[in-house]
Every structure is written in C-alpha cells, then in structure tokens.
Amino acid sequence: MIAVKEALKCIEEQTQAGKKVKIPIAEAFAHVLAEDVFTTISMPPFRQSAMDGYAIKWSDEKEYTVIGEVQAGAATDQALNPGQAVRIFTGARVPDDADTVVIQEHTSRTDEIMLIDKMPNKGSNIRPIGEQVKKGDLVLEEGTLLNEAAIGFLAGLGIDEVSVYKFPKVGILVTGNELQELGKPLQEGQIYESNAITLQMALKRAGIHQIEVKKVGDALKSTVNAIHGLLERCDFVLISGGISVGDYDFVKEALEINKVEEFFYKINQKPGKPLWYGKKDQKHVFALPGNPGSSLTCFYVYVWPALRKIKGFKDYKNKLQKAVLETPVTNTFGKVLFIKATVYEGKAHQLTGQASSMLKAFAICNALLIVPAETAQLEKGNEIEYIALDQF
C-alpha cells in the first residue's frame, strides 16, 4: 500500500503529453496547442473603420462635401481633397487619403453637404493595420487551451488547421456478474450497472469522445480477453470492479496474464483503497474499485490529472483550494479521507451518505475535502484543503 502523494507522483512520472497531430480547428475544441502559432496576415489587414460615419482628412473645417461611399468588403480607395468626405461603414477600408472617421451621430447631412457637430481627435475611429496582430507575429503559444475564443481568434487569422496534443482513445471495462443493463428488469441479487456511464460522462467532460465500453462477468478468461482487446485498440484503459481480494475478483490476475506492468496496487485512502495502476507499451491501465463512490473518487483524484497531462496541460495537477469546516471531522482510519461536501462562500459542509457504495452525495457535492492520513481530528472553524469538482 502506498501513500496518496506517492501514487500521484508515480502516475505523473509515467505520463507524457500525447502525440502531436494536425487537425482542423473545428475539431480542436478543448485541445492544447502542441506548437506555437504564427500569423501570415496582419489583423486588421487594412486600415479599417471602427464606426459608421464619414472618413475625412482632419482639419478645422466643419463643412465637407460627400463625394462617395465605401461599404464593408469594398476594395475601393477614393482620393480625397481637403473639405471632402467619404461616407463609410464599420469594417470598411478607410481611403488612404483619410486620417479620421467622424461618427455618424456627430454629424448632420443635407444632400452632399455634411456638417460636423463634434470634431473628433485626428486619427479617431480608424483601426490601424496590424492593430491586434502583425504578419509574422507569434499569436498563440504552445500549451494554450483551445476554447471557443481561441478557435475563433485563429479562424479570424485564416488559420484552419492546428497542431495539438492527441487525445487518448479510452477503453472502459466493466466487470461484475451482478450488474444489469439499463432498460432491463432487475432480477433478485442484481443491481443496475452505473460505473460505465459515470466514467463515460466524466470522460466527456474531459472532452474525450473516443470511448469503447466492454462488459464482462466475473470470469478470468473473458476478463483476460477483454483487457487484451482494449489494449490493442485503445491508448488508455479504465477497468471497473474485480480488483479487490474476493474469490471472484479476477482483474489483477488478468492484468498479469496480459503482461501489464504494475506500478502500484492499493493506496492509503478512503474511499478508493484498491486502486491498481500499471502500463503496457505506453498504454495506461487504471483498475478502479467497483464501488461507484470509490471509482469516481479515484477518477477525479488520479485519472483526471493524468488525462490532463496527456492532453498537454502544463497545470495538469488538481488545484487544491481551502475552506473552513462547518462541522468537525474525525479520522480514526490513519488514511487520507476524501469527503464529499459542498463549499459555499469558503465554508465546507460535509454531506451525509459518504459510503463508497453510494453516489447520492457525489451527485450534489461540489468538493472533495481532503483529510490527511496523520490528522485524527479537525474542529469546526479549522481550515481544510479540497478539490473543487467544478474545475472538472
């Protein structure tokens, strides 16, 4: 059995960012840039009007003759003499002779004559070439998360492909004779299988959509075969259940038969003690305990940061925050406790129903409080660290 910190360190050391791949920006959402991005155009690429109004050559004059117009998208460059103005619209190319745009609201117009009520400063309302970025600039650095704004920004620069860290394809293997599929009636002794969908949803939250789910009963042969198949087709395997010490827990043996190298088995924590972690040919295998609360705790604490590191995040570790306990905590186990809680305005409320077989508290909590193994007692008002679940 190893300590939580050691387990985290081990996984961290065994995990690298995924391969670099070039993909269309429309598929790059939630990915991390694997290379710096440079722009081949300036933005804006031409002197652009920031407002609807009139382009002029700035002077003390109030009266101008309107000699033409430029719409957004038009390539026109209209020559301007002093005392002349060109009607212009937001986003349109400003004539080379003009140095100022007067906003429509500060003018009055009679036929060709435009009177300025309020003269702006010289240079107003014109976006210069390259105001945002200049041709050749480094616009987004390696390591940047591509959210909707970043993808839109790249699109605005005409960039339609990016190099990102590849997301893993994840295999989920669910084990257990007692597990019934949704939609079928429960027979005596059965419960509905829920870990596969829980893990799938958690992976979706991580932006991972390539997921293969397999289900087997508690039998060595089918477990060996299922693990073999998932290791062939996936980069990352999550196994649910069958990793404890019962007579019908075959996962550990099946992993050994598949020659998956064990890095650790069992962590000094509650819930989630029987977590097993290993690798084969750079593919990660996490055998999660079957109890739904344990499985999800292990996912958040260990699998999530590993996935973030594979996805290319530099800050892949779970961020720990601090809150003040509203109720005391007793730790008679000498283990790290992960307690489902709600944290609101810096105050932590423990929820009832902490058993690892239960998911109700998980369903409504927003934090996992972390009680250190060596801490036997914490009082109301004491500070406690927690993993905020809304960071996921």
| Sites of contact with ligand AMP (CB under 6 A) | 174, 176, 178-179, 191, 193-195, 240-242, 244, 246, 249, 289-292, 357
**Which of Mg ion, ligand AMP, none does residue 95 bind to, with CB < 5 to 8 Å depending on kind?**
none
The residues that bridge with 362 in the sheet, in sequence order, are none
- The least distance separating ligand AMP from the CB of residue 359, rounded to whole angstroms, comes to 9
Type and span of the H or E element at 6: helix 4-14
The residue sitting closest to Mg ion, measured at its beta carbon, is: 241
123-131, 157-165, 192-200, 282-290 -> range binding Mg ion (CB under 5 A): 282-290
Q: How far is the CB of 294 from ligand AMP (least distance, A)?
A: 8
Q: CA–CA separation, 330 vs 328, rounded Å?
A: 7
Beta bridge partners of 140: 37
Neighbours of 22 (CB within 10 A): 11
Q: Which amino acid is at 186?
A: L
Helix (H) / strand (E) element for 256: namely helix 251-257
Contacted by 142, from Mg ion, ligand AMP, none: CB < 5 to 8 Å by type:
none
Of 194 and 210, CB closest to ligand AMP = 194
The only residue of 53, 171, 176, 278 in contact with Mg ion, by rule CB under 5 A: 176
Distance CA(145)–CA(123), nearest Å, equals 36
| DSSP letter, residue 186 | P
- In whole angstroms, the minimum distance from the beta carbon of 365 to ligand AMP comes to 19
Nearer of residues 56 and 179 to Mg ion, judged by Cβ: 179
> In whole angstroms, how close is the CB of 248 to ligand AMP at the nearest point?
8
Q: In angstroms, what CA-CA distances link 311 with 194, 206, 215, 284?
A: 26, 9, 27, 14
Residue closer to Mg ion by CB (options 107, 223) is 223
CB of 186 to ligand AMP, least distance (A): 12
Pull the structure tokens for residue 384: 């406690």
Task: Locate 241 and state its tokens.
Answer: 């259940």
